């Protein structure tokens, strides 16, 4: 497939409510959209999931734009005829930058699958038509506000609740929600907010029958997670620490994680995600699909991935309305706590070009000759 040009667009979408985590509060979702046009006229889309600031991971929106334009896209153009399967190897000499790499690989894959008339789901090996939805609930101002928000999600049908926690917002919110909903599948996510001196504190979560605790310690502290896992009974699940198949293998070998959250952006794309999924299936480890407050473009591909057989826990794959008043694609609407896996070719959703134009703050078009 010969690529004619790549459009990189910065968009900014307001969130329906601020999303507070241990690393900060998001009011808007600023992200990059990529559109790859082939010489045959096919268009492939993707979103780069990096956030506007490097607080969740080292990548950030405008840094991704820079590395794409300066280092990644020139390698793709230089290679000439390119298939999505070759992108990771072509980009391997450039270190890190998984989210930027995933974005270009995914847009090329979308174009390729659209040309071939194959959906993401069938291409990746999905085994279900519908996937179970969980929802990630930010840190609230008060316990009453938290209860109201959780109540809303449960009434909408979400099948699993994830509470964001941090020191000072952990035992009380978790115990309150558990008392009110004794049977709801419940888990927590600390986004690295604790340290090795907190093992005994985190043990206080043991009585609440949580599915898992996500990324309690620093992303580089894999050994600390293994130590913690021996002290607490809540299963430990790594998010930020898993950036590749190799890191997943190491974390499993160290018993630093007994469940894995796969985010395609964080691990460099959908091919790497499928490899980690397969490793988890072989290792008899539960796996679920994480989220990065994606628009319909990123969500469509995630929903297809989450339909693979090893994804046995509900993902952070929520309905469009959980995030945005208006999505940039046909919205994902939850039915009975589930989302439908798109079946049309490529990512399989209609793109709302007019709305994208309205919320665009910058556009660049890159060709083999550089910036247009």
Determine if 291 is a binding residue for ligand OSB (CB under 6 A). Answer: yes
Helix (H, G, I), strand (E, B) or coil at 30: strand
| H/E stretch holding 358 | helix 353-358
Nearer to ligand OSB (CB atom), residue 56 or residue 332: 56
- Residue ranges in 228-247 that form contacts with ligand OSB under rule CB under 6 A: 239
Q: Which stretch binds ligand OSB (CB under 6 A): 85-93, 140-148, 226-234, 288-296?
A: 288-296
Nearer to ligand OSB (CB atom), residue 216 or residue 291: 291
* Distances in whole angstroms, Cα of residue 319 to Cα of each of 28, 214, 300, 303, 333: 17, 22, 11, 11, 5
Determine if 158 is a binding residue for ligand OSB (CB under 6 A). Answer: no
Task: Convert residues 46-65 into a mask of x (bound to ligand OSB by CB under 6 A) and - (unbound).
Answer: ----------x---------
Nearer to ligand OSB (CB atom), residue 59 or residue 316: 316
164: annotated active-site residue: yes
Determine if 191 is a binding residue for ligand OSB (CB under 6 A). Answer: yes
Identify which of 164, 132, 169, 170 has the alpha carbon closest to the alpha carbon of residue 150: 164
Identify which of 73, 63, 157 has the alpha carbon closest to the alpha carbon of residue 107: 73
Cα 251 to the chain's mean position, in Å? 19
Determine if 136 is a binding residue for ligand OSB (CB under 6 A). Answer: yes
* Distances in whole angstroms, Cα of residue 98 to Cα of each of 58, 82, 160, 215: 10, 19, 28, 19
Determine if 346 is a binding residue for ligand OSB (CB under 6 A). Answer: no
* Polymer length of the chain: 372
Q: Which of 263, 275, 369, 372 is catalytic?
A: 263
141: annotated active-site residue: no
Identify which of 165, 185, 222 has the alpha carbon closest to the alpha carbon of residue 22: 165
DSSP 7-54: EEEEEEEEEEEEEEETTEEEEEEEEEEEEEEETTS-EEEEEE---SST
Task: Convert residues 9-48 into a mask of x (bound to ligand OSB by CB under 6 A) and - (unbound).
Answer: ----------------------------------------
Cβ at position 29, least distance to ligand OSB in Å = 9
Nearer to Mg ion (CB atom), residue 77 or residue 288: 288
Among 44, 121, 290, 314, which residue sits at the site for ligand OSB (rule: CB under 6 A)?
290
DSSP state of 70: I
Place of tokens 């840094």: 63
Query: For residues 345 and 190, is the Cβ–Cβ distance under 8 A?
Result: no
Determine if 287 is a binding residue for ligand OSB (CB under 6 A). Answer: no
Residue of minimal Cβ distance to Mg ion: 239
Helix (H, G, I), strand (E, B) or coil at 66: helix
Query: For residues 321 and 339, is the Cβ–Cβ distance under 8 A?
Result: no
Residue of minimal Cβ distance to ligand OSB: 291
Q: Which residues contribute to the site for ligand OSB (CB under 6 A)?
A: 56, 136, 189, 191, 239, 290-293, 316, 318
User: Which sequence positions are flagged as catalytic?
Assistant: 164, 263
């Amino acid at each position: 497939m010969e690529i004619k040009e790549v459009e990189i667009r910065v968009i900014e979408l307001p969130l329906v409510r601020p999303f507070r985590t241990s690393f900060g509060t998001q009011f808007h979702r600023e992200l990059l959209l990529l559109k790859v046009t082939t010489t045959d006229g096919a268009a492939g889309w993707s979103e780069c999931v990096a956030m506007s600031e490097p607080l969740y991971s080292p990548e950030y929106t405008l840094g991704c734009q820079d590395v794409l334009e300066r280092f990644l896209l020139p390698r793709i153009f230089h290679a000439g005829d390119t298939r999505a399967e070759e992108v990771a190897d072509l980009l391997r000499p450039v270190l890190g930058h998984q989210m930027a790499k995933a974005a270009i690989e995914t847009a090329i894959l979308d174009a390729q699958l659209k040309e071939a008339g194959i959906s993401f789901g069938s291409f990746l090996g999905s085994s279900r038509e519908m996937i179970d939805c969980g929802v990630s609930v930010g840190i609230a101002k008060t316990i009453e506000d938290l209860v109201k928000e959780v109540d809303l999600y449960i009434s909408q049908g979400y099948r699993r609740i994830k509470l964001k926690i941090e020191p000072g917002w952990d035992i009380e919110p978790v115990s309150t929600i558990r008392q009110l909903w004794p049977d709801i599948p419940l888990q927590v996510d600390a986004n690295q907010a604790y340290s090795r001196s907190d093992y005994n504190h985190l043990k206080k979560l043991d009585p609440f029958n949580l599915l898992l605790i996500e990324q309690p310690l620093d992303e580089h502290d894999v050994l600390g997670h293994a130590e913690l896992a021996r002290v607490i009974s809540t299963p430990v699940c790594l998010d930020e620490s898993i950036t590749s198949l190799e890191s997943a293998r190491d974390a499993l070998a160290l018993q630093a994680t007994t469940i894995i959250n796969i985010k395609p952006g964080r691990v460099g794309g959908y091919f790497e995600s499928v490899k980690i999924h397969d490793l988890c299936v072989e290792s008899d480890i539960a796996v679920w699909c994480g989220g990065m407050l994606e628009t319909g473009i990123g969500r469509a591909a995630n929903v297809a991935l989450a339909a693979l057989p090893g994804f046995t826990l509900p993902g952070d794959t929520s309905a469009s309305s959980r995030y945005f008043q208006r999505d940039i694609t046909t919205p994902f609407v939850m039915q009975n706590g589930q989302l439908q896996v798109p079946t049309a070719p490529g990512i399989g959703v209609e793109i709302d070009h007019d709305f994208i134009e309205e919320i665009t703050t910058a556009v660049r078009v890159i060709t083999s000759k550089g910036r247009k």
